[in-house]
A and B are shown apart, each in its own frame.
Chain A
């Protein structure tokens, strides 16, 4: 299942820019997610977010933006796989 997202914000600059679009594939239990993959997930207080996976430990995924002030796992901790909704395939 594919989904297009439009990025709002520059926390992943220069890899992804504000206004850029990404095509993503839905994540299932058996989806392989690697370090440096970019993923889309939902956090209650923030809504749907996009960040890069910086490390994987005990099936939890620590995600970060490239900007030092990015809101990411440094704020809300590592993600479980079930929290990750989509994996980015490519940008355009």
Chain B
């Protein structure tokens, strides 16, 4: 009889800080008190703020402790589980920052503003336990589809739900599925794009680490809808834990006949494989991903043909993002009306954001589509750090646009953002306070693209470098007004001529920065940095890296 359950953060950072020793200490102490059959112990993804790692959640209370050393772990067993009293000293001060976003929903009121569809179970269930998933409605949608719905009904339901691809482009998922379903080929594939390489984005990792079966069930439903019997998860190489969790989940689901041949006794068979990438940003682009998945160099393919016609191994292929797939089972289970009741007319459902930068609380936020940036910063981010003023935000990752305060109150969904010349992208939100040098930010972003350009096409390979060089001159106070002209011109031409989204997205931040913060660039040309934070202002310190911006540990 299980009466309690302990989840330990097992992400790489926690592991590097001794999460494994903590887990061993907890398990040893449970044996010491004879509780090993009553208390279950497992890993989950990251919990809480960075300085609280490794963290531990004790259910059913949902108490979050952190950071938990092996000694503290033993103490938690003795005090909380054996004697029944909280270790107040170690309880995470989550209450201080309303909207602490990585804490589990079970924590209750603090997260009341969030609407959790995708992250419903993450942090609540043991990701290594298929029983936990099933207990929380898991595989009900697949069961419902296989017993009560024709493939086409599943497809039509997803179509009617208005679910848009959460990878960044917002393409209607049901429409994409229908393209694949239409193809006459006997073999089709479902590919889950889990190569989450966008700087500052880690929503997919949290979904995979916290609720792997949600993605597997979504893939199986997609396979059923379009007539595919094989699925591949292309996972970012660094996501070792998520990969392990996925492989475990696939094995467990196959054991229970929820994946594999003749699922639940039906005619439908579906097999899922996991393939780890080797660390290239461009492999998030779906055709580069497919190349990489086939063992080729990860560079984008010529389109047409699109993957829906000729994708993995030349067969019609659905390529969907993790978050997109995690939305499928809830839609099938709860119906179109339920899904459409969340979010906006044009973009139903929720969006998972990863918020970084100058806010008090960084991390994951899931809110209905249409939430404004101001609300996200104030409610879930706990406001601007140190009371600084909001200057700019970059939405959608490194390829997103830099937006000015004027857009703080725009309800964010794919279409509305586009109308304002901005993008929702992967859901990364980089919040910058007024001491951020936009020129420096633009330089660091462009250095990222110059490094990550796959090198295939001329404009991206050389254009990103030349733009970076231009920005470097500007941030070092060596730039001229010609450089600014040149930068603007190059940015437009790289967008117009680049082969894939990488090159087409790389200059977006520059163009938007030039549009909203032109005077700051002009000031650099004139010899001053208004914020006084970039290299031209003092002894040159050039070691600023992209992760200095896109880090939840940014000071």
Partners in one complex: no
Chain A residues at the B interface, C-beta cutoff of 8 Å:
none
Chain B residues at the A interface, C-beta cutoff of 8 Å:
none
